[in-house]
Copies of this chain bind each other. A is one copy, B any other.
């Protein structure tokens, strides 16, 4: 990971405010449907003033997508690095991701919308690279678990996709402040995926005479 995308100067309050407005619009309307004019209007500044910070949508893509992917990747790498066994690493990866989603929901949805919608930006390649690095890390933890004998020999790509699908869909239905924290949902998903649903103990004993 390059440091240039994560150490960008965020001390300018106006820039941070514009980024926040852009994220809200990308999250709500989608990336393609949001114009620089929409952002200027929502921020109540002129388009010329907006151009000073973001001369085009590519620069916004850089800040909204690339930076949030880079920081998510750094967070899961750190969490995986602190865990010991492959199974613990899988758990750490998903908990760190859920934590990130819960804390920065707008950023997550905006980044996801922009990632899937933006066709022509020159930075699409770097976004794909971050996404691949992220998915590859989870797959590698699963592969290590299979190699060590902790996990069954399944297709690590398919197992990783299932877990990431559960995570990504949470951005659609999970609301902060609801019954379950994002981490608690992820823990239940992991329980199901690791232990399976089949009841190996067999059916419960029936009461006598039933």
Query: A159 to B192, Cβ gap below 8 A?
Result: yes
Is there an interface contact between B198 and A158, defined as CB atoms closer than 8 Å?
A: no
A14, CB-defined interface residue at 8 Å: no
| Residues from chain B with Cβ under 8 Å of A149 in the complex | 199, 202-204
Pick the contact of A155: B33, B142, B188 (CB < 8 A): B188
- Copies of this chain, complex-wide, total 2
Contact A193:B195 (CB < 8 A) given known A169-B165, A173-B161 = no
Binary per-residue interface labels of chain A (145-170) against chain B in the complex, 1 for a CB within 8 Å, 0 otherwise: 10011111011001101101110111
User: Are B194's CB and A152's CB within 8 A?
Assistant: no
With A150-B203, A161-B166, A165-B165 given, name 14 new contacts (CB 8 A). Answer: A29-B33, A142-B197, A149-B204, A151-B199, A154-B188, A154-B197, A161-B169, A162-B166, A192-B193, A194-B197, A195-B196, A195-B198, A196-B196, A196-B198
